[in-house]
Structure 1
């Protein structure tokens, strides 16, 4: 697996990132000379809104198995690019393994993800001394392969109803950008 260890933080960079013979060259607009970092030592690169990264540099970063994370104006990650190249990294191995899973295994994995999510919601209610943790654990036990009955949606409605009991009109709508949903979107992004 990959031996890289460096995290290159370019979230505040105003300048250009290019590729030069096995290294990325980072040239801030107000600096005389660039900083060069070997790609073989790099695990992650964080890019901000004012960094100008060449396609050649992105290609070589992917070839070396470097994860590139795009950040917003607050330096909060909003997207990531992970290599699917022949480079043996943990992320690459995981992506390839997931893409080659049989449909029954994918459905079974999804059921386990949903069950654990619902159990996590139950644990949150328990930690805040809010009734409903037992109900959610019972709902989690009902999840079947692929969650064809959308038990996840039912559990979410029960969870949010208990988290915000005074707001009877509240409906979780990710990406709506309004009120409590916007606050929750921000919190999920930070987590």
Structure 2
């Protein structure tokens, strides 16, 4: 089942009743002149079991502890935003799988050759998907990208990921002079950052659900990063976010600020269609197949991670 993504960008009361997320508006609740029946009818509810990601984007949003507990029990990712309305926090359950200890053990005991092989597969898939983005949106030559994708070796010692990235970002936004990809760089990096934050939450949620530790990466290692494995596994999925951003830019929409219209488009990331294992699937469902296959690679049951491709 496709899980829902909910976004709250205004003052809101969020609570739980009968395993339902209950949404109330403060201006309605505090208005004593309104009849109770009207207040009751103004409530909106969502089954908690249907929720995958919730984005909290306002300082005056209130959540009950009971709701938070139930959301985490159902493996719902909670994203919080800062004063600039950019995602800064992510809350996930500590336990998301019944055989978690066994899977932790397999992940921790993974050998360096295995991790290098998994990283090779990851970079191959990422560069291939980047090439498909350029093929779909730009008229530039991508034979070099295709060559690099095919020539990636175990652990990517030739750093084809960086070579591909340098070429990819130069060609992705030809209408923007001297575009540089970076978290603190100028727009449309704001759109990319927002989209990647949504994607990261989806991947981290799925890793926990599959019984893995998001902290222990196969390539990324940072003592201050609690989501190294999520940052690894999301790499081949990033081009799907890029495709949405390129669609927004090419439409002529003003992108210097993250408008509500743009956020609405980026919040569709979990449900966009991708191809995985030869079948069309929503991205969030595809991510669960990817993380499940990663577990089996750690356990020695599979040799290849299932990664997505573009629906061409």
Say yes or no: TM over 0.5: yes
Q: Give the TM-score range, shorter chain.
A: 0.5 to 0.7
Instruction: State the TM-score, normalizing by the size of structure 1.
Output: 0.65
Does the Cα contact within 8 Å between 2:13 and 2:62 map onto a contact in 1?
yes
Show the counterpart of 1:18: 15
The Cα RMSD (Å) is 4.1
Larger CA Rg, structure 1 vs 2: 1
SS at match of 1:26: strand
Show the counterpart of 1:121: 130
Cα displacement (A) at 1:134: 1.0
Q: Greater RCO between the two (CA within 8 Å, min separation 6)?
A: 2
Show the counterpart of 2:269: none
Does the Cα contact within 8 Å between 1:17 and 1:27 map onto a contact in 2?
yes
Deviations 1:5-27 (A, max 9, x none): 77473514413223456444433
SS at match of 1:148: coil
What does 1:4-153 align with in structure 2 at a 5 Å threshold? 7=4, 9-19=6-16, 22-32=19-29, 33=39, 35=43, 37-49=46-58, 50-70=60-80, 80-86=90-96, 100=107, 102-103=110-111, 104-127=113-136, 128-131=138-141, 133-153=142-162
Q: Higher helix proportion, which one?
A: 2
CA separation of 1:84/1:108 partners in 2, compared to 1, >3 Å: closer, same or farther? farther
Q: Higher strand proportion, which one?
A: 1
Does the Cα contact within 8 Å between 2:181 and 2:189 map onto a contact in 1?
no
Instruction: State the TM-score, normalizing by the size of structure 2.
Output: 0.44
CA separation of 1:149/1:79 partners in 2, compared to 1, >3 Å: closer, same or farther? farther
Does the Cα contact within 8 Å between 1:78 and 1:189 map onto a contact in 2?
no
- Looking at structure 1, the residues matched to 188 and 5 of structure 2 have their Cα atoms a distance apart, in angstroms, of 29
Cα displacement (A) at 1:137: 1.4
1:158 equivalent in alignment to 2:167:
yes
Show the counterpart of 1:186: 191
1:176 equivalent in alignment to 2:184:
yes
